[in-house]
Homo-oligomer: A and B are copies of this chain.
Amino acid sequence: MEKADILIRGCIILPMDRKEIIENGALAIKDGKIAFVGKSVAATNIEAEKEINAKGKVAMPGLINGHTHLPMTLFRGIAEDQPLNTWLRKTIWPLEAKLKAEDVYAGALLGCLEMIKSGTTCFADMYFHEDMVAKAVEKSGLRGVLAQGIIESEHKLLGAVTLRKSVNFAKKFHGYANGRVRTMLGPHATYSCSSNLLKKVKKKSAELNVGVQIHLAESKVVFKEFEKKHGLCEIEFLDKIGFLNERVLAAHCIDLSEEDMHILSKRGVNVVHVPVANMKLGEGAAKVKDLMDLGVNVCLGTDGPASNNTLDMFETMKIAALLQKHTYRDPTVLPAYEVLKMATINSAKALGLTKEIGSIEVGKKADLILVDLSKPHLKPLHNIYAGLVYAVHGNDVDTVIVDGKILMENKQVKGLDERVIMENAQKATLRLLSR
């Protein structure tokens, strides 16, 4: 190998493409990609511009958040302990109607900062003014798969306008920020988009060869109302109109029937499990084990910070494991390694980025994190997988690299002014509340 850009030595490496641990490992990064993964002793002849001694740390793929609405950082904690419908109609939707592009940028950048500090390197996002989220991705150095929201709510014109915007966004921003931005289309949900609109979304998705993000079976009440109205449940309905395929990223998927799960499996739909928001809103739990047993690719998401209230994927991993064991009343369900896969390699697949991210393999993009294990709550470390899922939290992340660029090192975020970002988000919120 020619001279590397970055050489990391002395760490434990979890490649996550296979259940193997490399003790005293080294990895080299060249031109934004992983150029070497192996034992430190095999890397003695590698020279690099920058060397990182990572003794006492674990290197793993950066976490990939499969479902969020980043600008909702602005609403963190604004309406608490309320039912989904009240929460949406009384607080969230009225505020969203007043949101301006500059607010979305301020909220999204705050979210990017929070994600960097807690070890997330890529995320799927759906919102309005999504171009502002793309700009926050560009500024922050993160990777994002972004969708401009499509919503109809029985107003055909609104549906047409938001579809056009979503398509334009998908065209314009696919490959933005040196390729760190990819795009999808973002139909909000089955109950807020008509079958005609959803069919158009499907057609456009095929034409543009981009994925589709959608909320699916998020709420018991809505699910039942939908079934009553259409004579079919949400999943059957989408299947009937030919909407479901391997390009679909479906968030939530709570309490599905066996039949529904078979449909998702047959169509190759990717499911994003969102345990924290589902529990917080009292909506129930996805049956992740059953879905996985049927071969469905299930990944993990935090949802927006207004219903979580953080973007900490380490926390989400722990709660996902706990919730599945609780749901099946079986502690052997969803063991730690499987949870780590959900937040890395499964999420990469769900976002259509299997070949590029989700594991530490030569040739993949250098999106990875170092987690500092030298902390009291991580000692002793009998089991690295259990440590990462059940004991690590976002704050234990020490170093974050995306596309071969160091975004945080020794807990110091580079190229972003934390204080200014926090202040700007605060100001945006005050402006919004005074409108």
Tell me the A residues contacting B by CB distance below 8 Å. 73-78, 80-84, 87, 110, 113-114, 117-118, 220, 276, 278-285, 305, 308-312, 315, 318-319, 321-323, 325-326, 328-336, 374, 376-377, 379-383, 385-387, 390-391, 393-396, 418, 421-422, 425-426, 429
B contact residues around A330 at 8 Å (CB): 83, 282
A377-B118, A382-B77 known; A276 and B322 CB under 8 Å? yes
Are B310 and A377 in contact, with the CB atoms below 8 A?
Answer: yes
Residue of B whose beta carbon sits closest to that of A391:
B309
Q: Give the shortest distance, in Å, between A282 (CB) and chain B (any CB).
A: 4
A326 — nearest CB in chain B belongs to which residue? Answer: B279
- Most chain B beta-carbon neighbours within 10 Å: one of A309, A387, A396: A309
**Contact status A284-B380, CB under 8 Å:** no
Given A77-B383, A380-B426, 6 other A-B residues pairs in contact with their CB atoms under 8 A = A76-B391, A280-B390, A282-B325, A284-B326, A377-B394, A393-B394
Copies in the complex: 2
B75, B114, B117, B308: which contacts A390 (Cβ < 8 A)?
A: B308
Asked if A77 meets B425 with Cβ closer than 8 Å, knowing A83-B331, A331-B82, the reply is no
Whole-angstrom CA separation of A87 from B315 in the bound complex: 24
User: Given contacts A76-B382, A335-B80, A381-B77, are A326 and B390 in contact (CB under 8 A)?
Assistant: no
A285 lies within 8 A of B326 (CB) = yes
Q: Which residue of B lies closest to A118 (CB)?
A: B377
Q: How far is the CA of A11 from the CA of B154 in the complex (A)?
A: 49
Cβ–Cβ < 8 Å partners of A385 in chain B: 80
CB <8 Å contact, A117 and B376: yes
Residues of B within 8 A of A77 (CB): 380-383, 386-387, 390-391
Assess A383 versus B80: contact at CB under 8 Å? Given A322-B279, A325-B282, A391-B309: yes
Known: A77-B386, A380-B76, A380-B426. A282 touches B391 (CB 8 A): no
Which B residues are in CB contact (< 8 Å) with A279? 322-323, 325-326
> If the complex has contacts A311-B377, A395-B395, are A282 and B328 also in contact, measured as CB distance less than 8 A?
yes
- Sample 11 A-B pairs with CB under 8 A, ordered by A number: A76-B379, A77-B380, A77-B391, A80-B383, A80-B386, A83-B331, A84-B331, A280-B331, A315-B315, A393-B394, A395-B396
Within the complex, the shortest CB–CB distance from A23 to chain B, in Å, comes to: 16
Q: Is the CB of A380 within 8 A of B309?
A: no
Alpha-carbon distance A429/B312, docked complex (angstroms): 31
Given A322-B280, A386-B309, A393-B395, is A114 in contact with B329 using a C-beta cutoff of 8 Å? no
CB distance from A305 to the nearest CB of B (A): 8
- Lowest 4 A-B CB distances belong to which pairs? A279-B322, A81-B335, A77-B386, A395-B395
- A376 close to B78 (CB less than 8 A): no
Complex interface: chain B residues within 8 A of A323 (CB): 279, 326
> Which chain B residue has the least Cβ–Cβ distance from A83?
B331
Chain B residues with Cβ below 8 Å from A379 are 73, 76, 110, 422, 425-426
Given contacts A77-B386, A308-B390, A322-B319, contact A418 B376 (CB under 8 A): yes
**Chain B residues whose CB sits within 8 angstroms of the CB of A278 once the complex forms:** 326
A82 engages B282 (CB within 8 Å): no
| Complex CA–CA separation, A349 to B376 (angstroms) | 29
Check A336–B81 contact: CB distance below 8 A. yes
What is the distance, in angstroms, from A345's C-beta to the closest C-beta of chain B?
19
B331/A376 in contact, CB under 8 A: no
CA distance in complex: A305, B376 (Å): 11
